[in-house]
Amino acid sequence: MLARKAGKLEPLFRPVRVPILILAILLFAASWMASRHAASRYQRAMAAARQSRAPYAHTGAEIARLFLKSEGIEDVEILPHQGVVTDYFDPARRRLFLSRRVHDETTLAAWAVALHEAAHAVQTRDNSGELRWRQTVIRLNRYGPVFLALGMAALTVLKVLPARMAIILFGVAWTGMFLLSAGTLAVEWNANLRLRRFLEDHLANYPDALEKLERI
């Protein structure tokens, strides 16, 4: 439809254009909320699982060792580790680092974390490349946003980069890191699938515990 204005015909409805700055902010907000939602779900699941005792008096370290032995893997060292980053498998050194709580406790939470990380050791038997890539992406997401924000702030203060452009670049980069991380989640799901046979055999007489672990 057209409207007459000052002797000229103009469109009555103009196409809506979303400024790049607003789009970058929306992308950042959406990915940040999705990340917070995932972290919140994990924390709630772990809090509930810490209230449930494991059906056997095995600690997280002991159940992880049983699982690895059932898979024919005996070259992985399981160590208690308290640091900035805990509960992970190091494929280069063949070591499974568990926080003191996961290493020593006999809760379903300790079992879930220890078994999941131990399953990564089984993955390296087939192909360690995907796991290494996943760990690289995790490190990128852990430290990347901080360095990126500091860099953008410094460039803005030094007037090398306009504030508007710095915000746009940060929003786009943040969203890219989020999508990159989401794209590697198949590695985590695959690790959980490798636990199924062991859990079904080990907890055949404890269906309630099996159901809870699968849910966690």
Give residue-wise pLDDT tens across range 136-154. 999 999 999 999 999 999 9
How many whole angstroms separate alpha carbon 46 and alpha carbon 44? 5
Pairing state of beta strands 77-80 and 95-98? Answer: parallel
In the prediction, which pLDDT does 9 show?
A: 54
Give residue-wise pLDDT tens across range 94-129. 999 999 999 999 999 999 999 999 999 999 988 788
How many whole angstroms separate alpha carbon 110 and alpha carbon 86? 13
In the prediction, which pLDDT does 10 show?
A: 55
Residue 171 has pLDDT above 70, yes or no: yes
Give me the chain's average pLDDT, please.
89
Residue 75 has pLDDT above 80, yes or no: yes
How many whole angstroms separate alpha carbon 81 and alpha carbon 93? 14
pTM to 2 decimals? 0.82
Pairing state of beta strands 95-98 and 88-90? Answer: antiparallel
- What is the distance of C-alpha 198 from the center of its chain? 24
Backbone angles phi, psi at 171, to 5 degrees: -60, -40
By CB atoms closer than 10 A (0-12, 13-18, 19+), residue 182 is middle
Output the six-digit token pair for 5: 């204005």
